[in-house]
Structure 1
Amino acid sequence: MTVSVQYPDSPSFSVTAVYAANNVDERRELWKNLVDTQALLSLNLSSWIIGGDFNEITHCAEHSETTFNQITPHMIELSACFEDLEVRDLRYHGPRFTWTNKQPDDPVAKNLDRILVNEHWLQAFPLCQAYFSAPIISDHSPGLVKLDCGKQVAGSKPFKFFNYLVRHPDFRSTIEAGWEISPEDSWTLSSLSKKQKLLKKFLKSLNKDNFSDIQKRVRETALLLQDLQVNSLTNPSESSFQAKRTCRDKLSFLKTIEEFFFHQKSIIKWLQLGDQNTGFFHKIAKARNFYNAIHSLLDLQGVVVSTPQEVGNLAVCHFKAILRPPLTAVTPHLLPLVQFFTVYHCSEDMRLTLAKISSMRL
Structure 2
Amino acid sequence: MASNHSSYPHSIIDVAGMDDMNTVLQEAEIFEAQAKGSPFTWWNNQEDNPISKKIDHSLINQAWANSFPDSFAEYLEPDQSDHTPCLFRTPSVRSRIRKPFKFYHHIIDNPEFLVTVGNAWHPESIVGTAQFKLMRSMKCLKKDLRGLNKRHYSGISERVKQQGAKVEVLQRALLTSPDRATAVEEHRERDTLNKLFTAEQKFYRQRSRVRWAYVGDRNTTFYHKTVNQRVTQNHIHYLRDEDNNFFGATSAIKEHSAAYFQ
Q: TM-score range by the shorter chain?
A: 0.3 to 0.5
Q: Which has the higher helix share?
A: 2
Q: TM-score normalised to the size of structure 1? A: 0.31
Rg larger in structure:
2
